[in-house]
Structure 1
Amino acid sequence: METLGVVMNGVTGRMGYRQHLVRSILAINEQGGVELSGGRRVRLRPVLVGRSAAKLEAIAARHGIPDWTTDLGAALADDRTTVYFDAQTTNARVAAVTRAIEAGKHVYVEKPTAETLADALALARAAREAGVKNGVVADKLFLPGLLKLRRLIDGGFFGRILSVRGEFGYWVFEGDWQAAQRPSWNYRAEDGGGIALDMFPHWAYVLENLFGGIEAVTARAVTHIEERVDEHGRPYKVTADDAAYAIFELAGGVIAQINSSWAVRVNRDELVEFQVDGTHGSAVAGLRRCRVQHRSATPMPVWNPDLPVTEPFRDQWQEVPDNAEFGNGFKTQWEMFVRHVVDDAPFPYDLASGARGVQLAELGLRSSAEGVRVEVPPITSGVGA
């Protein structure tokens, strides 16, 4: 069986550890590796990298992983490693990924790929010029709810799609009377924080892969909670946006409205939901569920504020069945990227697509700062704008 060495930088963080190491890399090995063409299989040999030797040693011991180091250069110099993966904080990503590309490693990167479009484009160009394969995590596309939504789109359920409305977020505790469930760097712009930079790259690949390319954005990014308390109990001033409200104009005339907030209390079935309305039907998709209402079963509500609501609106929607077994989306994408590296299988979510996500965040923040609608120029796979 073949073995593929993977340098994993940032596994001491929640996402890097739980989703990428445990539920992806280790889960892949537990199932016997990634199946390749011709029935071959490849196992993954993780090399853990980070700043804290104590945390790395503890994770390595917990899972029986022999290779870990705080020296990124040494890990990249090892000829037994082929792939570099980065799940660090955003402000540390560009320098590390650049080093990996220069070392000739194929690179797989969490989003956003950079803090600025210029840096994101520089990474994409560097990978292209070096001839290394590259990919960006696009996990939301592999959620069961969105996979069902994809099925509806492919089956022509909606007719002509008119609009998309998305709601994402939850209340992140301020850290004083109850510990915050997100790291404090998320709320400091100087450390690469901000919900627009965090979430707009997600909305970029979701919208362009499901509904059409984004042609313009109008956004308002705000800081609702101006002071928080960090992991050490110290108050700090919030310098990044914690909510962003945006309208995206898509190719073909579809209008998408998406609210993103870490200062909203949840009154919906799931932490993220998208409602898609079309001429022939509508759907509401979340992380796992997807419900539909066809035009033939659409009731006729009548506006009458003088009477109580008599229609059980939520009960009038039909559940979309699974009709398939949905695996962990991060693991599925890891398997795709491994096949891309070893078998040259297609992988559409490259650093150029990652740059489009950073571009959308940058233009959204510009729209907010200037109070204007901003057109989104194209970025091609050749990383030309």
Structure 2
Amino acid sequence: MTLAPPLQPQPHAVVEPGAAPVKISYRAPIAFTVLGLLGVWMAALVPAGDTQIRVSTGADLWQLPLLVVPAAATTWVLVLLALGLAAFSWVQAVRRRPVGTWVGVVFGVLLVLAFLVSIGAGKTQVVALTGILAGALFLATPLIFGALSGVVCERVGIVNIAIEGQLLAGAFLAAVVASLTTSAYLGLVAAPIAGAGVGVLLVFFSIKYQVNQIIVGVVLNVLVIGLTSFLFSTVLTEHDAWNRRTPLPTVPIPVLSEIPLIGPVLFRQTVLVYLMYVVVIALQVYLFRSRWGLRVRAVGEHPKAADTVGIDVNRTRWRNAILGSAIAGLGGAFFTVASGLAFGKEMTGGRGFIALAAMILGRWSPKGAVAAALLFGFSENLRTVLPTLEVSVPPQLLLMLPYIVTILAVAGFAGRVRAPAAEGIPYVK
């Protein structure tokens, strides 16, 4: 009898007792190295002089002194630390070990700080670090809601390409209700209702008639854009009372909002941002630490197995898709009542698709989606930060910046991501 040779572990895999091999990708180390080398190029161009960084605001509990640092030396130190993390990621890859998420987070923080120090070199303008971070969080709010919507929908197998339309519908209804009732909070309540309405159409055609979910999502985006543009050009333009600026007030949390740096960024925001905190934490806990989350993930991964243990697959998809659409609609309130703006045509500006990229980059998890959305929010905030620091950048490039960062981030860091196995596949019992 001939004995079969023993099975050998696959290359670039981590094999632990009782665990399946984990493939290791060199994509992250390569991306870290390329970005680190760009950081070296940036550090080499930093002119002589100091950078002034303000951390405290006038409303803080105690005032921190203005930081004055040598621009070139500080930039080099931060970039070299980032290169050290890039080298560590290569070591982990060679040892066939996964690169921890913390490596990417710290790497990104180091390069962002190096960039801010470099652009403030030798200028009389002060780099207001607190304002930059607070602005990035605020601008990331609709992206976070949109990415969370994608997570909730796609975890049960419903592809939600209609996030852009749900954001726009939420922005429209929030503006109209807030204008007619003169209450921004009632507008905030109306926004998820609009998003849920778009979600009902999405799951109706996707589940009942088994239409391709991507096509349905694209059609819904076009439908919402056309409908809101028509109503804006007719009803809202003819009746000013239907489309007024009704801003949500900033609600600082006592004591917490007075902590330097952390307070103004996290706890001196509108109610919409605080709702975002609640939604992120709740989804992270419930998706991975509850029976509801287990059933949701089972429906998205293996609906037939879920059906055999008594889970109503299509009912679960209906509920989750409508819930996810309502979350996206709530994010749409950012563009009107949270920003203090009246409704305008196509004012979401493609952020629903950036939210989809944040969901993919975050690997279909709430905390990962938040981290990716913050990156995109920071890149969008640079459109206002760079001109104030007298950095000459073509305005067309500033408008393109969030989308360029989206493409580079997904291409460089997403790697081989695996969506839920039953995503986009109708289930027929």
TM class, shorter-length: under 0.3
Select the structure that is richer in helix.
Answer: 2
Under a length normalisation based on structure 2, what TM-score does the superposition of the two structures give?
0.24
Structure that is richer in strand per residue: 1
Find the structure with the greater CA-based Rg. 2
Higher RCO (C-alpha 8 Å, min separation 6): 2
